[in-house]
């Protein structure tokens, strides 16, 4: 397995693979790899001949009061996991390799970041698009795999690929879950033992709401309020809980037959922010 630190190095390695006629699959990560990331790598291996994984904690997607400094960094363990999964190349650049000290050009997002995670994390998706656009230009993969857990990210990146004319196939892998339903996340490491017991409450709330919607409740606002109260009683602090149009990512008060929706929630449990979602087709 090659481990590339510089942009020139990763470009040379990928160029050599492409000269051999290899299809390149790409999985961008911030490290602290868990089973969810490994499922993305496995999906990439199914879609391409060689897999490149990037490991880079992107400072541009953290707000001033968020956990950039404390975000888990486990490079040695991450490299071992990548090697065990048959990854061909890991791209692990330094911050100065990726970003100039002074930047003059920005990416902005309209509408698609108004709700869900974008509603409470200003600048978050602009930071994601900045790094993903850079990584696509550096690695030039044929296929890139993202996880459904970050579905708003996937939808916004998909729009960027379309509008910026990237010649890349995007694949969304299903959410990887613990046995009790909790969506796997690098930030789950922050949970105390007591919080970890409570954490699947978000998954259960979404599961209940999904069941009611599929059983015919197409104006779910009262359902949402009830489940928010239940979660708050258990110690969660609600960021958002709602049903959103899959394409526009706007809040949907009334659901229509034939519609495609994202039932999604984000909550705080202590110092840990948890997100989860279900896709619903009526």
Tokens representing 122? 């200003």
Residue in this structure with the two tokens 């110092």, named with its chain if needed: 271
User: Predicted confidence band at 64 (pLDDT cuts at 50, 70, 90)?
Assistant: confident
166 in active site: no
Residue 151 pLDDT greater than 90, yes or no: yes
What whole-number percentage of the chain has pLDDT above 70? 100
Q: Find the DSSP H helices in the chain.
A: 7-19, 35-47, 75-84, 95-98, 117-120, 124-139, 151-163, 193-198, 201-214, 221-233
- pLDDT score recorded for residue 65: 83
Phi, psi of 93 (to 5 degrees): -80, 165
pTM tops 0.85: yes
What whole-number percentage of the chain has pLDDT above 90? 98
Q: Is 144 helix (H, G, I), strand (E, B) or coil?
A: strand
- pLDDT score recorded for residue 270: 96
Catalytic position from the list 34, 37, 115, 166: 37
pLDDT digits (tens, 9 = 90+) for 255-281: 999 999 999 999 999 999 999 999 999
Domains of the chain (ranges plus CATH)? 2-173 (3.40.50.620), 186-277 (3.30.1300.10)
Q: Given CA atoms 7, 12, 17, 18 in this order, what sign does their dihedral have?
A: positive
pLDDT digits (tens, 9 = 90+) for 180-219: 999 999 999 999 999 999 999 999 999 999 999 999 999 9
What does the alpha-carbon distance between residue 143 and residue 51 come to, in Å, rounded to a whole number? Answer: 9
């Amino acid at each position: 397995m090659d481990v590339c630190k510089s942009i020139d190095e990763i470009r040379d390695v990928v160029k050599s693979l492409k000269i051999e006629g290899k299809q390149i699959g790409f999985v961008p990560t911030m490290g602290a790899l868990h089973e969810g990331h490994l499922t993305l790598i496995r999906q990439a291996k199914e879609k391409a001949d060689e897999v490149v994984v990037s490991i880079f904690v992107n400072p541009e997607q953290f707000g001033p009061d968020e956990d950039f400094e404390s975000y888990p960094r486990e490079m040695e363990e991450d490299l071992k996991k990548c090697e065990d999964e048959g990854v061909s190349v890991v791209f692990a650049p330094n911050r100065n390799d990726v970003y100039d000290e002074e930047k003059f050009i920005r990416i902005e997002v309209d509408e698609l970041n108004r709700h869900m995670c974008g509603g409470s994390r200003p600048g978050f998706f602009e930071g994601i698009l900045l790094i993903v656009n850079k990584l696509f230009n550096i690695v030039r993969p044929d296929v890139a795999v993202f996880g459904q857990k970050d579905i708003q990210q996937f939808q916004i990146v998909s729009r960027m690929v379309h509008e910026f004319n990237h010649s890349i196939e995007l694949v969304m892998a299903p959410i990887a879950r613990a046995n009790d339903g909790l969506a796997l996340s690098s930030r789950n490491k922050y949970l105390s033992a007591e919080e970890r017991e409570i954490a699947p409450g978000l998954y259960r709330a979404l599961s209940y709401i999904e069941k009611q919607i599929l059983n015919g409740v197409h104006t779910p606002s009262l359902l949402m309020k009830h489940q928010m109260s239940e979660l708050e009683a258990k110690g969660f602090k609600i960021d958002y809980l709602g049903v959103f149009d899959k394409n526009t990512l706007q809040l949907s008060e009334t659901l229509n037959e034939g519609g495609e929706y994202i039932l999604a929630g984000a909550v705080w449990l202590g110092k840990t922010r948890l997100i989860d979602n279900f896709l619903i087709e009526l």
